[in-house]
Amino acid sequence: ICESQCAIGSLDLHHVDPPSERGLGQEWRWNRKTIMTSKAKKYLNRFIEPIKKSLLKAGFKSEIITEKVAVDSLPIVRIILDSSNWNDCFAVYGLVADIYIPNPDRFKNFISVPRGDGYQAIHSTLFGPEGRMVEIWICTRDMLAGKKT
């Protein structure tokens, strides 16, 4: 497990370059403004491509956005569904989990149990190509706009 986590960690190292991180996957680093390097962008595009194909094949209309919330966090892929049915989020999660292996310790169902501020979505961490971890957040446009399901 440690070997995988160490390899995975190189995707989210920050630009400050403390001594413990020198020489570890510099091409995967994010800079201080959380702008992705070109290799990280290529990796996430490779991660997203089979998801896009699966969503289209299943008839889901969506927008997929990649982002980085904090310098030391995993990259995030948001899938925003053009649907008002919250069950579609679970169906999409099933499609994505058929493509990439989910980390069972990192799944949050904020749809059934919304956060205190009313936020609703499914959050999960998946092992993408090369075993690198990527967070995925799935919600509908209504959820994103703060409308209760």
Check if the beta carbon of residue 96 is closer than 8 Å to that of residue 107. no
State residue 106's pLDDT score. 94
- Kindly state the average pLDDT of the residues 65-83: 83
- Kindly state the average pLDDT of the residues 84-103: 96
Torsion angle of the four alpha carbons 50, 96, 125, 27, in this order, in degrees rounded to the nearest 10: 0
State residue 147's pLDDT score. 67
State residue 74's pLDDT score. 85
List residues bridging with 101 in a β-sheet.
127
Query: 24 phi and psi, to 5 degrees?
Result: -95, 100
- Kindly state the average pLDDT of the residues 14-32: 37
- On whether the pTM is more than 0.95, the answer is no
Quote the CA–CA distance of 109 and 75 in Å, as a whole number.
19
- Bin 3: left if φ > 0, else alpha if -120 < ψ < 50, else beta: alpha
Beta strands in the chain (DSSP E): 62-67, 76-81, 101-109, 122-127, 133-140
Least confident of 36-45, 97-106, 134-143: 36-45
Residue 8: which pLDDT band, with cuts at 50, 70 and 90? very low
Check if the beta carbon of residue 88 is closer than 8 Å to that of residue 24. no
